[in-house]
Structure 1
Amino acid sequence: MFQDFECFGNYGLPKDKNIRMIVERNNLQNPVYVGDTIWDKESSEKAGVDFIYAAYGFGKIENPKVQIQNFEDLITLEF
């Protein structure tokens, strides 16, 4: 399901820069970032990528636009 990833340890860049790098490197047209913390949400917004809140994770986000209760929910989402 995943073809690419990036992490801080590779280039020492913040999360928003890593997200943007993946988007550009793969020429993604409608990317989304799935995360469970406010830092994930803020980083995806800063990178210009839509955010999906993984409510089953560790963090709490108030009034997310889109949320999933489990990973399989991604299959049924429509944008």
Structure 2
Amino acid sequence: METQHTFSLIYTRKPGILIRVALVLERRGYTIESMNTSPYDSNPDYWEMMLTIEGDPAKLEQVTRQLAKLIDVFAVQVLKEVYC
């Protein structure tokens, strides 16, 4: 069964971060349903990316670990799971 997951990523604002995130998700068979980025708190060097993705819930922990290992990503948090 496919599941929608909402992630929050805190990262350094540098070119190329979006493609690295998209490649991790693509390799694991996830589809990005929606994405939003905004400045994180008052520091203009850090940004927050909110992702809603759809995919296999069995791979969720592995995807979370791989996103956290990306260069320039400081924190990854799963906010919500919705079963479709």
Identify the structure with bigger relative contact order (alpha carbons < 8 Å, sequence gap 6+): 2
Between Structure 1 and Structure 2, which shows a larger proportion of helix residues?
Answer: 1
Alignment TM-score, normalising by the size of structure 1 = 0.30
Alignment TM-score, normalising by the size of structure 2 = 0.28
